Amino acid sequence: MNNKQNEIKNQVKQHYGKRARQASKLTTLQPLEALRCADGTTKTDMDISLGASPNIYVRDDLLGVPSEAIASSAGCGNPIAFADLQLGERVLDLGSGGGLDCFLAARKVGPTGHVTGLDMTLDMLELARNNAQKLNIVNVEFLEGFIEAIPLPDRIVDVVISNCVICLSPDKDAVIRESFRVLTSRGRLHISDMVTLGPMPQELKEDSHQWARCASGAEEAEAYMTRLESAGFVEIKMKYDGDPQSQENNMPDLIAVKIVAYKP
Ligand SMILES: C[S@@+](CC[C@H](N)C(=O)[O-])C[C@H]1O[C@@H](n2cnc3c(N)ncnc32)[C@H](O)[C@@H]1O
């Protein structure tokens, strides 16, 4: 990893570390009060700008989930909604943040299934583990590590999910290669992520602050699909999920996507 890539990763860590620390202060909020913040406007006195797209979760699904998990949520979609998770499946969440998607996945796979959340930011891991404890949930674990070097053996999970994280990686080929490696045969990827509607200017690709807000690291849909195909994935499908978000200063518009792909 070169210096620029390290700088980007450190910036991303700082950004999400701060978000985790802010969310962990929300202990007095009820879950649905915290959710109201996800509507785009900040309704607490804390500066938490949540979620690239508002209302991405169904309220009923969030009942019983700790406010801190909801408040730290920074996804751009809801991979659980299209992952069709089955009882007993083993799931890996790349960049699990405060754990919200892991907890929703855990309900779907049940006690015979298992969910692993992987994240590099220690404050996020601590928040996710505290949230798991509050939920008294036993089929979820959170691992520290990089999505570019997944600390799991080959062919160990049935499903890889991820929510607005791969666009943050400075080495996307490694992330896709590693996802392929840990999936079982016929294992599948269900990813929510951001793509651009046009090429990202080089000077913006170097801007680690823009990178950390899930912008500069995003790439065009075609490049994303080609990466998946080159790694060996088949039956790759990508759909837009919402409306384009216009940007300033020469940055191309961004749009959330849902991606599904299979390991042969
Ligand atoms: C935009 S947040 C999304 C979190 C979560 N998926 C959600 O929907 O709320 C990105 C998360 O990915 C983690 N992350 C970013 N790049 C990573 C990397 N290269 N390896 C491991 N974790 C990473 C960050 O620490 C952060 O928790």
Which three-class secondary structure state does DSSP give residue 218?
coil
Asked whether 94 and 166 are in contact (CB, 8 A), the reply is yes
Closest CA to 23 of 81, 91, 76, 100: 100
Question: Looking at residue 59, what is its pLDDT?
Answer: 78
> Ligand 1 mean position to 73 CA, how many Å?
10
> Ligand 1 mean position to 209 CA, how many Å?
15
Q: Is 16 in the pocket of ligand 1 (CB under 6 A)?
A: yes
Closest CA to 211 of 150, 164, 160: 164
Closest CA to 14 of 175, 171, 129, 123: 123
Closest CA to 180 of 133, 232, 138: 232
Closest CA to 165 of 68, 263, 259: 259
Which atom of ligand 1 is the closest one to the Cα of 119?
Answer: 22
Question: Looking at residue 56, what is its pLDDT?
Answer: 84
Tokens read off for 167: 């666009």
Tokens read off for 186: 């016929």
Question: Looking at residue 26, what is its pLDDT?
Answer: 66
Enumerate the β-bridge partners of residue 196: 220, 254
Give the separation between CA 159 and CA 258, rounded to whole angstroms. 15
Q: Is 78 in the pocket of ligand 1 (CB under 6 A)?
A: no
* CATH number assigned to the domain comprising residue 88: 3.40.50.150
For atom 25 of ligand 1, the residue with the nearest CA is: 121
Q: Is 179 in the pocket of ligand 1 (CB under 6 A)?
A: no
> Ligand 1 mean position to 149 CA, how many Å?
14
Please give the DSSP secondary-structure letter assigned to residue 245: B
Q: Is 121 in the pocket of ligand 1 (CB under 6 A)?
A: yes
> Ligand 1 mean position to 28 CA, how many Å?
25
In angstroms, how far is CA 15 from the centroid of its own chain? 14
Q: Is 12 in the pocket of ligand 1 (CB under 6 A)?
A: yes
Give the separation between CA 178 and CA 143, rounded to whole angstroms. 15
Q: How many domains does the chain have?
A: 1
Tokens read off for 96: 């699990």
Burial state string for 84-110 with b = 16 or more CB within 10 A and e = fewer than 16 = ebeeebbbbbbbbbbbbbbbbbbbbbe
Closest CA to 152 of 93, 229, 111: 93
Q: Is 160 in the pocket of ligand 1 (CB under 6 A)?
A: no
Which three-class secondary structure state does DSSP give residue 191?
strand
Which atom of ligand 1 is the closest one to the Cα of 169?
Answer: 19
In angstroms, how far is CA 253 from the centroid of its own chain? 20
The pTM for the full model equals: 0.92
Boundaries of domain holding 35: 3-262
For atom 23 of ligand 1, the residue with the nearest CA is: 95
State which amino acid sits at residue 228.
Answer: L
Helix-strand-coil split of the chain, %, nearest 5: 40, 20, 40
One pLDDT digit (tens) per residue for the chain, 264 residues: 788 889 999 999 999 999 999 888 765 444 444 444 333 333 333 333 333 344 688 878 888 888 888 888 899 999 999 999 999 999 999 999 999 999 999 999 999 999 999 999 999 999 999 999 999 999 999 999 999 999 999 999 999 999 999 999 999 999 999 999 999 999 999 999 999 999 999 999 999 999 999 999 999 999 999 999 999 999 999 999 989 999 988 999 999 999 999 999
